[in-house]
Structure 1
Amino acid sequence: MQIDYSLFKLVNGLSGNAIADRSFTFLAQNLATLLMVLVALAFLVPWKQRRDERRRGAVIGTAAAGLALLVAQPIAHLVARARPYADHPVHLLIARSPDPSFPSDHATGAFALAFGLWLYDRTLGTVLLVLAALLSVSRVYVGTHYPGDVLAGALLGAGMAGALYLLPTRKLVELVVRFAGALTDRVLVRPHSAA
């Protein structure tokens, strides 16, 4: 735990610059929402290429995020790790949370979404993985998580996405993609009118 705290002090100790503080605070509070919107768009946008792959990735990522967050809850209460600001002097830039620190819910959900999409679309998935990593660093920067919290969340989220990808869930994923995809295509894509 000493290494975890030393890394925390290194990252959190960078705070104090008004522009960086505002930027990382914004990222820590809003990047998870942006990731959810991007995954939704990966499903909803009628891409000309790789539409079905992106939809499969969005389905796997979303399911993995939900399941990983369910798994994270009993782990958090079993480990019951206090937030950094409860045990150490920190530069806390966002409101305190009553939840345990380990694992980070933000990192868990973000990496599940990003890795789920990456499994089907390396380009878009890589962008989301970079955003998930940035979210994780920002949660340490603002003083609400140790690096080990976000690392555990990242492993849990990505691991759940990988497990769903490898398990025999493809038929279920295809069913969701076809059914939900057909509905969204009817709503979002205008049928060509007959001349």
Structure 2
Amino acid sequence: METILSIDTRLLLWINHARSPVLDHIMKTISDFGIFFPVIAIFILYRLYKGSAFERVMWVVGIIAVISSDALCARVLKPLVGRQRPYLDVDGLYVLKGSRWLLTNPEIRQNLGPSLSWPSCHATNMWTAASYLLSFMKLPGLVLALVAFLVCYSRVYLGVHYPFDTLGGMVIGIAWGCLFAAIARAIDRVFLRNFL
């Protein structure tokens, strides 16, 4: 276990220190869900209005999948595992707090509030959405998988997650997305085809 944690920390520092002002801006933007939300919400509302019965079920179940993956991550898994964020344990880590970059040391770490790290909810949510969408729409699903990978990288770059936090979120998200894709298909098979 010690070796795995050591590899995790070395990877974290390597990614976190491979920085530039351009990457700082790109990674901060990619990591911020707020910029994507309005476009995604408008698209889904349009498809709920215009789509077939199955497409409506698909989008509603997909929304439930992502919301429940976030709850699973934040309310169940993080408290259960209890791993602290890297900026609370690792010295020499660049971390973005507000609009400023801090380089962690014992004094700075004392002033940062407690926060849990494993798994990354950003990774869990994005990979849930990507794997779910990929089950129904190949090209959009692949594009979202690329975005999910970039979000995972950005979380490590920003110093808020270890690489294995995002890897754990990816594995959980893919499994969760596939589970909900199976649920959507079951609803289609059992209800929509028989009653509509």
TM-score in terms of structure 2 length: 0.74
Kindly report which structure 2 residues correspond to 1:6-45, keeping only aligned pairs within 5 A, or say none: 6-15=10-19, 17-28=20-31, 30=32, 32-37=33-38, 39-45=40-46
By how many angstroms is 1:139 displaced? 0.5
Residues in 1 aligned to 2:189 and 2:69: alpha-carbon distance in whole angstroms: 17
Residues in 2 aligned to 1:97 and 1:24: alpha-carbon distance in whole angstroms: 22
**Consecutive unaligned residues in structure 2, runs of 5 or more:** 99-111
Q: Which residue of 1 aligns with 2:131?
A: 115
**Consecutive unaligned residues in structure 1, runs of 5 or more:** 177-195
Residues in 1 aligned to 2:175 and 2:70: alpha-carbon distance in whole angstroms: 12
Q: Does residue 84 of structure 2 align to residue 82 of structure 1?
A: yes
Q: Give the total of aligned pairs.
A: 171
Kindly report which structure 2 residues correspond to 1:145-156, keeping only aligned pairs within 5 A, or say none: 145-156=161-172
Residues in 2 aligned to 1:127 and 1:85: alpha-carbon distance in whole angstroms: 31
By how many angstroms is 1:64 displaced? 1.4
SS in 2 for 1:69: helix
Kindly report which structure 2 residues correspond to 1:87-98, keeping only aligned pairs within 5 A, or say none: 87-89=89-91, 90-95=93-98, 98=114
Worse overlay, 123-132 or 64-73: 64-73
Q: Determine if contact 1:58/1:116 at 8 Å carries over to the other structure.
A: no
| Inter-CA distance 166–117: structure 2 relative to 1 (3 Å threshold) | same
**Aligned amino acid, residue 100 of structure 1:** L
Q: Determine if contact 1:57/1:118 at 8 Å carries over to the other structure.
A: no
Residues in 1 aligned to 2:60 and 2:45: alpha-carbon distance in whole angstroms: 11
Worse overlay, 149-158 or 119-128: 149-158
Residues in 2 aligned to 1:13 and 1:124: alpha-carbon distance in whole angstroms: 32
* Residue identity (%): 26
Q: Determine if contact 2:47/2:55 at 8 Å carries over to the other structure.
A: no
Residues in 2 aligned to 1:172 and 1:97: alpha-carbon distance in whole angstroms: 46
Kindly report which structure 2 residues correspond to 1:172-183, keeping only aligned pairs within 5 A, or say none: none
By how many angstroms is 1:109 displaced? 1.1
By how many angstroms is 1:122 displaced? 0.5
Residues in 1 aligned to 2:38 and 2:118: alpha-carbon distance in whole angstroms: 25
Residues in 1 aligned to 2:186 and 2:69: alpha-carbon distance in whole angstroms: 19
| Inter-CA distance 92–174: structure 2 relative to 1 (3 Å threshold) | farther
By how many angstroms is 1:33 displaced? 3.4
By how many angstroms is 1:61 displaced? 2.8
By how many angstroms is 1:58 displaced? 3.1
Residues in 1 aligned to 2:190 and 2:137: alpha-carbon distance in whole angstroms: 16
| Inter-CA distance 173–127: structure 2 relative to 1 (3 Å threshold) | farther
Q: Which residue of 1 aligns with 2:101?
A: none
By how many angstroms is 1:175 displaced? 7.7
TM-score in terms of structure 1 length: 0.74
Runs of 4+ in 1 over 6 A off after TM superposition: 172-176
CA RMSD of aligned residues (A): 2.9
Residues in 1 aligned to 2:26 and 2:154: alpha-carbon distance in whole angstroms: 9
